[in-house]
Structure 1
Amino acid sequence: MASDNGTNFVGAEKELRIAFQQCMADIKLRSFFADSNIEWRFNPPAAPHMGGYWETGVKRVKYHLKRVLGEVPLSYEEFNTLLTEIEACVNSRPLCDNSEAAGDLEVLTPGHFIVGEPLKSIPEPEGQGFRGNLRQRWQAISAMRQHFWRRWRDEYLVSLQRRTKWFRSSRNIEEGDVVAVFNEPNPPTKWTIARVIKCHHGTDGRVRVVTLKTPHGELVRPIVKLCLLPTRGDLFHEETNNLS
């Protein structure tokens, strides 16, 4: 486990260490912990920037949460509910394909590492923003979640669409690649994932348009509306390049 040097994390590590030492009297537990090789590593004090990607995630949540909440006062229970739903939104993001089967569109998400499966939520009607009666607390919180979801989803997909200067050519999208479709009106935690089944090349030989297979049928989209997810081959080549 890795974390920053927050007092809550340091206190939790201390409590777990005491409990661990008490458990070492049991031979079965001792062998379990020895085989698990569990270790808690802290960043240096006053160095949250060394958290890398997880601190980037915290920054994104704080950035959008401040703009979603504004001056709306929430009770502890309401704020806890909103943060839990935001956590589900953030941890539902697609990371890479989870299967090479042509008909399987399930992708790997952070939720798989937390609960062992994709995070799910019940679709709700689109909210009317923050102008309603604040006594209807649930509708207000639901509107906040949907507002956060739209802002954060678009930012995440844009980060997958980064285009650097063409000093070297990148590979064409190929049949069998898994993509996330940009600008689709999905409810929270729902992503439009599709597999490329046909490529349409331009006059220069580059793929400009593709035909996609989704759980609800086929779509034709330009590649500018697609976010290519890493495949196992891409991850293997990237790790090979890093080692070399």
Structure 2
Amino acid sequence: MSASRQGRGCKLTKVYILIFVCFATKAVHVELTGDLTSNNYLSALRRFISRRGKPKHIYSDNGTSFVGAYNEIGRFIKDNCNSLSENLAQENINFHFIPPQAPHFGGLWEAGVKSIKYHLRRILGNCNLTYEELNTVLVQIEGVLNSRPLTPLSTDPDDLLPLTPGHFLIGRPITSLPSQNYEEVPSSRLSRYQRIQQLRQHFWRRWSKEYLSELQQRSKWRSNADTLGTGDLVVLKEDNLPPLKWRLGRITAFHPGADGINRVADIRTATGIVRRPFCKICPLPNNKEG
């Protein structure tokens, strides 16, 4: 819900979130829209294209706003095909729709919707924000999702930087301005700006823990599975890290137990070597490739 203004007597209106997910880089783009009409979807699509560039293909479900936008663009191309150059006609966006009643065909964007919607509903609760404030929260959540480490950036054992969706968007990792920790402060003592930062911090705390847990393969440690190797780039599970801050390091040594099974490793980080159990180590996907 979005409020028309701050203070008492404000009018609450329902708003919607439009999520774009890049199939190649897994980058996420979030747009706030007022309703589900085709015109509003086209406006959000134009904002997306103006900032990210025009895509060649767009995949979506069979929502009426998506199908309506496709029909409207198709009518424009048909009515103006004589005045448009051949090159422009060839650069038209190709819309692809999954089969009706088959949301599992869109698993990639459904995962992006879940990442945002699941935690956003829990951190907002009954909080009523203005359109600008809600848009600020969503853009900051977009930055959080695009800061997640995907794979090692290089095979250099001295390189502690991971490849993130932010590298494909701005050429470097996405960072944020430093901010005081407001997680434990009652919302009644915070200003509107501080409340927005508190929402971002709550989202980061919930989502980052979930993402790190997904990187780990949970199994009974009865044998060496060789999932980790010396020199692998890993993410460390650390408490009280600020938003968009990931602690990474490379494994330097293992410490087997009395049964010969490795359960502890030494990791070289930017601040020195630390020793952590495997339950606090999250290997990045495709760590063995290259």
Please give the range of the TM-score, normalised by the shorter of the 2 chains.
0.7 to 0.9
Question: How far apart are 1:12 and its partner, in Å?
Answer: 5.0
C-alpha distance in structure 1 between counterparts of 2:60 and 2:271, whole Å: 41
* Structure ranking higher in helix proportion: 1
Question: How far apart are 1:49 and its partner, in Å?
Answer: 3.0
Question: How far apart are 1:186 and its partner, in Å?
Answer: 1.5
C-alpha RMSD of the superposition: 3.1
Counterpart in the other structure of 1:240: none
Aligned partner of 1:4 among 38, 55, 61: 61
When residues 184 and 131 of structure 1 are mapped into structure 2, their CA distance, relative to the original with a 3 A threshold, is closer
Larger mean CA deviation between 17-26 and 117-126 belongs to 17-26
Aligned partner of 2:239 among 151, 169, 184: 184
Is the 8 Å Cα contact of residues 176 and 197 (structure 1) preserved in structure 2? yes
When residues 75 and 166 of structure 1 are mapped into structure 2, their CA distance, relative to the original with a 3 A threshold, is same
> What whole-Å deviation, never above 9, does each CA across 1:109-154 have from its counterpart, x for those lacking one?
2223334432211121100546244771110111011011101111
Letter in 2 for 1:185: N
When residues 94 and 13 of structure 1 are mapped into structure 2, their CA distance, relative to the original with a 3 A threshold, is farther
1:204 matched to 2:237? The reply is no
Aligned partner of 1:65 among 117, 120, 126: 120
Counterpart in the other structure of 2:107: 52
When residues 26 and 225 of structure 1 are mapped into structure 2, their CA distance, relative to the original with a 3 A threshold, is same
Counterpart in the other structure of 2:199: 144
When residues 16 and 229 of structure 1 are mapped into structure 2, their CA distance, relative to the original with a 3 A threshold, is farther
> How many residues are aligned here?
231
C-alpha distance in structure 2 between counterparts of 1:154 and 1:11, whole Å: 39
C-alpha distance in structure 2 between counterparts of 1:39 and 1:190, whole Å: 37
Aligned partner of 1:107 among 129, 138, 162: 162
Percentage of pairs with the same residue: 43
When residues 76 and 176 of structure 1 are mapped into structure 2, their CA distance, relative to the original with a 3 A threshold, is same
Is the 8 Å Cα contact of residues 234 and 282 (structure 2) preserved in structure 1? yes
Is the 8 Å Cα contact of residues 210 and 221 (structure 1) preserved in structure 2? yes
What SS does the aligned partner of 1:186 have?
A: coil
Question: How far apart are 1:25 and its partner, in Å?
Answer: 4.6
Is the 8 Å Cα contact of residues 78 and 141 (structure 1) preserved in structure 2? yes
When the two structures are superposed, what TM-score results if normalisation uses the length of structure 2? 0.68
What SS does the aligned partner of 1:52 have?
A: helix
Is the 8 Å Cα contact of residues 172 and 207 (structure 1) preserved in structure 2? no
Question: How far apart are 1:66 and its partner, in Å?
Answer: 1.0
Is the 8 Å Cα contact of residues 153 and 162 (structure 2) preserved in structure 1? yes
When residues 128 and 60 of structure 1 are mapped into structure 2, their CA distance, relative to the original with a 3 A threshold, is closer
C-alpha distance in structure 1 between counterparts of 2:239 and 2:114, whole Å: 25
Letter in 2 for 1:108: L
Question: How far apart are 1:22 and its partner, in Å?
Answer: 5.9
When the two structures are superposed, what TM-score results if normalisation uses the length of structure 1? 0.80
> What whole-Å deviation, never above 9, does each CA across 1:44-71 have from its counterpart, x for those lacking one?
2343332113212311321111110111
Is the 8 Å Cα contact of residues 154 and 183 (structure 1) preserved in structure 2? no
The correspondence of residues 140-179 of structure 1 with structure 2, limited to 5 A, is 140-164=195-219, 170-179=225-234
Unmatched 5+ residue regions in structure 1? 237-244
> What whole-Å deviation, never above 9, does each CA across 1:31-90 have from its counterpart, x for those lacking one?
8x49xxx74422223433321132123113211111101111111111111011111112
C-alpha distance in structure 1 between counterparts of 2:153 and 2:127, whole Å: 40
Counterpart in the other structure of 2:48: none
1:124 matched to 2:161? The reply is no
* Structure ranking higher in strand proportion: 2
Unmatched 5+ residue regions in structure 2? 1-57
Is the 8 Å Cα contact of residues 173 and 207 (structure 1) preserved in structure 2? no
When residues 198 and 119 of structure 1 are mapped into structure 2, their CA distance, relative to the original with a 3 A threshold, is same
